[in-house]
Amino acid sequence: MIARLIFSLFLFVSASNAGAQTAYIDDTLLVPLRSGPGTSFRIIHKGIKSGLKLEVLEKNPDTGYSFVRTPGGLEGYLPTRYLSNEPIAKVKLAQANEQLRQVTEENKSLKTKLNTVQKELDALSKTHQQTSAVLEKNVQELGHIKNISANAVNLDLKNRELRESNEQLRNELELLQVENIRLKDRSESNMMLMGGGLVTLGVILALLIPLLKPSKKNDSWA
């Protein structure tokens, strides 16, 4: 008999746990928790505070009592009319305030992150402007270098032409110098020949002039 009782109690507890749901003490200051479903049963808790979250193990519509379990593990009966499926206004307000606090904290965190991102964006924008300025300067310098390169190519071409012209003039100068030396040698040779001719002519004249003059002997005979 005792074994059957224990088994039945076990089945009752198991069935109660299987159908357990959550409920809240309604807007009543204190609700007594009893050992059975009725006012004749012993009070095992002087009063459960309004808004306390309970685990409903069984509801009996005939007696109007529900078998509940407190967060501390205490089990007992209390009138079902004191239970509500929704938290009371005080609890809702506390939950709303907690949610508001969390949202406020998240908002602050998001603002901080937004400020950080804005600073990073400003830094990136400044860096972009500086990079754009440097790029523009490099483009201008590149264009200047291209112009210099083009001028350098033109100058190199002109230098080549001048070197070729200079080389040609140098060759012509050397030819003129050689021709000048040749003409100088020829002039000196001609001068020497002329001098020799004059000397020879002087000798001939010196020999002929005495022959051309009449002698004194011939003059007296005549």
- Predicted TM-score (pTM) of the model is 0.35
* Residues 139 and 187 both lie in one domain: yes
In a domain, 116, yes or no: no
pLDDT in tens, 44-102: 998 888 878 899 999 999 999 999 999 999 999 999 998 888 776 656 666 678 888 89
Looking at the fold, whether 80 and 130 belong to one and the same domain comes out as no
- Residues 28 and 71 both lie in one domain: yes
The C-alpha atoms of residue 82 and residue 33 are separated, in whole angstroms, by 11
- Give the pLDDT score at 218: 53
Q: Is residue 34 part of a domain?
A: yes
114 within a domain of the structure (yes/no): no
Does residue 59 lie within any of the structural domains? yes
Quote the mean pLDDT of the chain. 81
Residue span of the structural domain in which 42 resides: 16-86
- The answer as to whether 210 is a domain residue is no
Query: Which pLDDT value is given to residue 93?
Result: 66
Residue 219 maps to a domain = no
**Any residues with CB less than 8 A from the CB of 48 and at least 6 apart, and which?**
25, 30, 31, 32, 33, 54, 70, 78
Q: Give Cβ neighbours of residue 94 (< 8 Å, ≥ 6 apart).
A: none
Predicted confidence at residue 221, as pLDDT, reads 47
pLDDT for res 3: 44
Angle at 5 between CA 36 and CA 21, to 5 degrees: 50
Domain-located, residue 71: yes
Total domain count, the chain: 2
Query: Is 213 a domain residue?
Result: no
What are the phi and psi torsion angles at 70 (to 5°)? -80, 165
Give the bridge partners for 75, in sequence order: 69
CATH of the domain at 60: 2.30.30.40
Do residues 79 and 94 lie in contact, with contact meaning Cβ atoms separated by under 8 Å? Answer: no
Task: Please give the C-alpha separations between residue 1 and each of 4, 8, 15, 42, 161, in angstroms, as whole numbers.
Answer: 5, 10, 21, 26, 132
Question: Would you state the pLDDT for residue 90?
Answer: 57
pLDDT tens string 164-211? 988 889 898 888 888 889 888 888 888 888 888 888 888 888 888 777
